[in-house]
Chain A
Amino acid sequence: MKFISIILGGVLISNFVFIQYLGLCAFIGLSEQLETAVGMASAVIFVMTGASAVAAAFEQFILIPLNLQYLRTIAYILVIAAFVQLVEIFLKKTAPGLYKAMGIYLPLITTNCAVLGVALLNVAKSYNILYSTVNGIAGALGWSLAIIIFAGIRERWKLMQIPDVLKGFPLALISTGLMSLAFLGFSGLFQGILK
């Protein structure tokens, strides 16, 4: 039950992009084509899930016992960077096809604030390792949903005449605003049941 509540939270109720403002740079930057969006999304799901798990484990087995919580930010960022590096190496060796498809996006994920963001949010919500991992999946799914929807919409823009002053970021931001209006409807979903 709690799993469903966490997943729905990250995907619909407080979507990582539209409500929590995480991972915006990559969201706007990589959403111009559906293929790119799907590629980045799969990389993000992969990394966010793993990074959340690893960061939570680090928190539980190293930071808390040694009372080093104030070093959390530095520790997490290093843990995440190392994790991404390991994933890259692992993929290169075992699944070269997958590596070629996802490869360019992996280094970009280190600076995607959604990854570090979800790890820190897990701490704020006092999630244990299991829930942290689920929250990582939830955030990643929410981010992926957002970027895939947006890519679908942006591909249609190639056919339109957009005024110069609006081209690029201004229009992307206003559109994101319109999309978040749609997601407002999901706020408070299942409030009674999923407490």
Chain B
Amino acid sequence: MGEKLLVTSSPHLKGPRTVRGIMLDVILALVPASIASVVLFGVRALVVIAASVISAVASEAIYEKAVKREVTVSDLSAVVTGLLLALTLPPGVRLYVPIVGSAFAIVIAKQIFGGLGTNFVNPALAARAFLMAAWPLQVSSKWIAPLAYDSVSGPTPLAALKSGRGVVPGIWDLLVGTRLGSLGETCIIALLLGAAYLIARDVIDWRLPAGFVGTVFLGAWIFGKSGAYFKGDGLTAVLTGGVILGAFFMATDYVTSPVTPKGRLYMGIGCGIITIIIRYWGIYPEGVTYAILFMNLVTPLIDRFVVPKYYGYAHDAAARRAKIGGR
């Protein structure tokens, strides 16, 4: 092990931290939101989460056995993916959705490329986008009324904001989660608790979520009200849909976000811009999934061009000169 030069791509871990340790931190951070989802939406929430996690872990184990690699489920990254995917789904969703989704996330969006550290899109979000395209009805209408545990198909706050129909809940409801929505996006307080934990433990960089949330707030404030500018409700926009969940837990995935702090800020801002564009001018009520996926795609380019100052211009200038042919 000491002779070979080990060249790998991100994530690069410094210090005594292990992948498993970080994953454990993320799972812990998501516990408040998961508990909130069960309280709000009933046992069904737990079943969806369980189905998703089990499918993720099983898919990873089966695939790695099939390609004769070491089985890495104990690093808990599959658990995190399964959990995150479940939290983006409506509570009343039929179980084949998280099961197929998790398998897709683990096998196609991650393992095929070589396992942890090799994927270029966030697996949970890639799966969610896939599910949205495969079974749109399941993913956008199987809501459950909070605390009443009845199935409802009515508009979520996000859909209400977009179509103008339906009631948009007040700030308190938005924070506590007594409104329609996916498992993990409704109880903002629980999410923020977890996010604070991750930032305190130095697992995530605050710049990315700050850029993301800030841009969405600004964008909603400027463009939120149709027919007028600078009159929108930024706060409501930030508290509805997947912004908090996405900004703190999904976009910040090490493998698919930029390496430099400035780069991460840019990614956050980019996510925010695309979210606003899709929310206000696209056909989907929620843009967070696609925004993060798109920024995942350009992350390698961000890393290429956002170089810390001391690598400097000389490096780029030399490359440019070489290209033109030494003129």
Q: Which residues of A contact B (CB under 8 A)?
A: 34-35, 97, 100-101, 148-149, 152-153, 155-157, 159-163, 166, 171, 174-175, 178-179, 181-193
Contacts and interface: CB of A to CB of B under 8 A. Distances in A.
Contact of A190 (B281, B290, B301): B281
Contacts of B327: 97
- What DSSP secondary structure best describes chain B's contact surface? helix
Contact of A149 (B274, B290, B298): B298
Task: Report which residue of A97, A181, A191 has the largest number of chain B beta carbons within 10 angstroms of its beta carbon.
Answer: A181
B317 interface: no
Interface of B: 7-9, 67, 108-109, 112-114, 118, 120-121, 126, 129-130, 132-133, 274, 277-278, 281-284, 287, 289-291, 293-294, 296-298, 300-301, 304, 323-325, 327
B247 to A, nearest CB: 17
B324 A101 contact: yes
A171 B298 contact: no
A149 B281 contact: no
Contact of B290 (A35, A97, A162, A184): A184
19 contacts: A149-B298, A152-B300, A153-B120, A157-B113, A161-B114, A163-B67, A171-B112, A182-B296, A184-B133, A185-B129, A185-B284, A185-B290, A185-B291, A185-B293, A185-B294, A186-B278, A190-B281, A190-B282, A193-B281
Nearest to B114: A160
Contacts of A182: 121, 129, 290, 293-294, 296-297
Contact of B298 (A152, A155, A162): A152
B60 to A, nearest CB: 15
Contacts of A155: 300
Contacts of A35: 323
A97 B67 CA distance: 48
A157 B274 CA distance: 27
Contacts of A185: 129, 274, 278, 282, 284, 287, 289-291, 293-294
Contacts of B298: 149, 152
Contacts of A193: 281
Given A100-B325, A189-B277, 14 more contacts: A97-B325, A101-B325, A153-B297, A155-B300, A178-B108, A178-B121, A181-B121, A184-B129, A185-B278, A185-B282, A185-B287, A186-B278, A186-B282, A188-B283
B184 to A, nearest CB: 20
B66 to A, nearest CB: 10
Given A178-B126, A181-B130, A166 B112 contact: yes
Contacts of B294: 182-183, 185
B33 to A, nearest CB: 24
A101 B323 contact: yes
Contacts of B291: 185
B178 to A, nearest CB: 29
Nearest to B302: A152
B139 to A, nearest CB: 13
Contact of A156 (B108, B120, B274, B289): B120
B120 A159 contact: no
Given A100-B325, A149-B297, A189-B281, A160 B9 contact: yes
A146 to B, nearest CB: 10
A161 B195 CA distance: 33
- Those 7 A-B pairs whose CB atoms lie nearest each other, nearest first: A185-B290, A188-B283, A152-B300, A182-B293, A181-B129, A160-B114, A152-B301
